[in-house]
Amino acid sequence: MAMTRRDLLKSAAALGTAAVVPATLTKSAAAQTTQKKELVVAQGGDVAFFDPHMSTSSNDIRVSFNIFDNLIARHPDGKLQPALATEWKLDGQTTWRFKLRSGVKWHNGDPFTSADAKYSIERTYDPKNRLRVNTVLTSIDRVEAPDPATLVIHTKKPDPLLPARLAFYGGQIVPKKYLESVGPDTFNQKPVGTGPLRLVSWTKDDKAIFEANGDYWGGKPDFDRMILRAVPEMAPRVAGLLKGEVDIVTQLPPDQGERVKANASTRVAGALYAGLYVLAVNSGRPPLDNPLVKQALSLAIDRDLIVKELWRGRGIVPSGPIAKGDNHFDASLPALAYDPKEARERLKKSGYKNEEIVIETTSGYTANDKPMSEAIVAMWRDVGINAKVEVLEYSVRAQKNTQKTFKGLWWSDPTSTLADPDGMMWRLLSPGGPQDYWRHPKFDELGAAAHFSVDEKFRGQAYREMTKIALEHLPWIPVIQPYEDYGLQKYVEWTPNPNQQFEVRRFAFKFKRA
């Protein structure tokens, strides 16, 4: 393997850099403000589903959170704010009462009522609908709509995170009357929401065109139209930004940040990802059932080097399985250590007999997955581990994920959907969860108790203990918490959201006017 496609793209991009700067300098003074009425956004892949309950992929939720509203919104600062619900309160342990916003209209003119909210929530977990978000709201026992402006939700057990669940995917509110009359397929192609964007047209793999909702209860966004383009290759995506064709590009790789910064009319905005990139471990397969082996694997990874070289400093080294920024993140824990000598010791103690240990990685499904795998395998070999990288196609990965047939380790980039360990560590590692490869009675007991507790002090204590167990047994080997970077024109004032929501509402997005 002499040169990969990526390498060539990079060198091609580097060739362009020197030439780009002077051409764009001249218009820089004017480029700090704009009179534009149209926002152009380029992302790496096309929208696959407009039905918000059919997808959790970032390319889709960038759109669905803007076509639709949730009862409660999570703003870029991480706080929960009123949206379609103006007030909510916990009544006893398991009853939540929501007061709904009045006067809100669907894009087709129908009024929004509590019947829509009830229908929407029940739709997500009805197995008949087979929706991607089917597990998000399963703590709910039943939903009542006593009058058009009131919604009552009863949970099966106390659920402290219900508002947070309602604020993320699965919580988007869909129109009962419209959806029932046109059916799910038409709804997916011609979505009707209450949000600030209304879909006008969609050409697959090309662009989706949206119109700003002039009647939006939160105020019309600061543009008349938004065009969302799907530009799969990074080089043309960045070229489009530098040339001024595009106002915002998503998924800006770390090595392109300097180019965007060096250009006079563009800048980089990043948010620390609300989640972690971890190597998930099939702890059922020897020698990975031995905690000492996993500890050796973790100790042998020079994470600082990975952050510095592969991420150009755009990331931090995690301290455990809870992401920085989440509830109950323990700031006093040290970053995960790099100690090759200790790694060798523990390997020796573990009785490791040179069994092959495999990282199964996709190439580019998560940022830097393959380069990181190669770097880590080299680090492991240095301490005497017989390690190997195998590259999978994305759909094979999905299949292995469903059938739980990973050979050793694989990349997972869990989003902390609730800004809480319950929405990340427990969502994935709990018994019966998507990454149920390892069980520990104490961990399970604490996780289940914290899941159903409204006592934050108790939950904090539980997560501290679970972190300790997880760091000893390592069902995940956390590697990095990266920044998610976007490239923007300087005339765009916009705050990225750590959880991959792409917020175009008034409070987060504005064009700088002269």
Please say whether the beta carbons of 229 and 43 come within 8 A: yes
Measured from the CB atom, the residue of 231 and 281 that comes closer to another protein is 231
Cα distance between residue 428 and residue 414, in whole Å: 8
Among 25, 29, 30, 48, binds another protein (CB under 8 A): 48
- Total residues in contact with another protein, by rule CB under 8 A: 51
Check residue 488 for interaction with another protein (CB under 8 A).
no
CB of 19 to another protein, least distance (A): 5
Q: Which of 29, 30, 396, 449 binds another protein (CB under 8 A)?
A: 396
For another protein, which stretch binds (CB under 8 A), given 61-69, 94-102, 172-180, 389-397? Answer: 389-397
Query: Counting Cβ atoms within 10 Å, is residue 513 exposed (0-12), middle (13-18) or buried (19+)?
Result: exposed
Outline where DSSP puts E strands in 156-285.
197-203, 207-212, 225-230, 248-249, 266-272, 277-281
Does 185 bind another protein (CB under 8 A)? Our answer is yes
Judged by CB under 8 A, does residue 266 bind another protein? no
Q: For residue 219, count other CB atoms closer than 10 A to its CB.
A: 13
Smallest distance from the beta carbon of 15 to another protein, in angstroms? 7
290: its two tokens: 């031995």
The residue among 398 and 449 lying less far from another protein, judged by its C-beta, is 398
232 residue type, one letter: P
In the window 92-151, what residues touch another protein (CB under 8 A)?
A: 127, 130-135
Are 140 and 126 contacting, i.e. CB atoms less than 8 angstroms apart?
no
Q: Which stretch binds another protein (CB under 8 A): 12-20, 153-161, 211-219, 312-320?
A: 12-20
Residues 193-252 contacting another protein, CB under 8 A: 203-207, 229-233, 235-237, 239-240, 242-243, 245
According to CB under 8 A, which one of 89, 332, 403, 441 is a site residue for another protein?
Answer: 403
The stretch among 88-96, 184-192, 274-282, 305-313 that binds another protein (CB under 8 A) is: 184-192
Q: Is residue 189 a contact point for another protein (CB under 8 A)?
A: yes
β-strands 225-230, 207-212: how paired? antiparallel
Using CB under 8 A as the binding rule, whether residue 16 contacts another protein is answered as yes
Beta carbon of residue 202, minimum distance to another protein (angstroms, whole number): 10
Distance from C-alpha of 193 to C-alpha of 173, rounded to nearest angstrom: 8
> Alpha-carbon torsion 240, 243, 246, 250, what sign?
positive
CB of 233 to another protein, least distance (A): 5
**Which residue is listed with tokens 């829509």?**
116
Choose the binding region for another protein from 2-10, 28-36, 67-75, 266-274 (rule: CB under 8 A).
2-10
Nearer to another protein, 291 or 433 (CB): 433
Shortest distance (Å) from residue 368 CB to another protein: 20
Query: What is the footprint of another protein within residues 61-90 (CB under 8 A)?
Result: none
Closer to another protein by CB, 35 or 402: give it: 402
Cis amide leading into 287 (omega within 30): yes
List phi, psi (to 5°) of 249. -115, 140
Which region among 13-21, 98-106, 217-225, 321-329 touches another protein (by CB under 8 A)? Answer: 13-21
Site for another protein (CB under 8 A): which residue of 38, 108, 215, 394? 394
Stretch binding another protein (CB under 8 A), from 88-96, 299-307, 390-398, 450-458: 390-398
Residue among 20, 316, 358, 419 that touches another protein (CB under 8 A): 20
Residue 329: count of CB within 10 angstroms of its CB:
19
SS3 of 437-502: the string is CCCCHHHHHHHHHHHCCCCHHHHHHHHHHHHHHHHHHCCEEEEEEEEEEEEEECCEEECCCCCCCC
Least Å distance, CB 168 to another protein, is: 15
387 touches 380 (CB < 8 A): yes
Closest CA to 238 of 228, 251, 225: 251
| Closest CB to another protein among residues 132, 294 | 132
Choices 87-95, 144-152, 183-191, 332-340; region in contact with another protein by CB under 8 A: 183-191
Q: Which is nearer to another protein, 48 or 335 (CB)?
A: 48
Minimal CA–CA distance to 266: which of 256, 281, 274? Answer: 256
One symbol per residue from 409 to 448: x for binding another protein (CB under 8 A), - otherwise; what is it? -----------------------xxx--------------
The helix (H) or strand (E) run that includes residue 116 is: helix 114-125
Nearest CA-CA partner of 136 in 214, 76, 54: 54
Q: How far apart are CA 42 and CA 207, in angstroms?
A: 9
How far apart are CB 211 and another protein at their closest, in Å? 19
Q: Provide the token pair at 4.
A: 């990969």
Check residue 166 for interaction with another protein (CB under 8 A): no
Dihedral of alpha carbons 315, 317, 319, 322, sign:
positive
Smallest distance, Å, CB 20 to another protein?
Answer: 6
CB of 116 to another protein, least distance (A): 23
Cα–Cα distances (Å) from 122 to 87, 118, 133, 279, in that order, read 21, 6, 11, 34
* Interface with another protein (CB under 8 A): 5, 8-9, 12-13, 15-16, 19-20, 23, 48, 127, 130-135, 185, 188-189, 203-207, 229-233, 235-237, 239-240, 242-243, 245, 393-396, 398-399, 401-403, 432-434
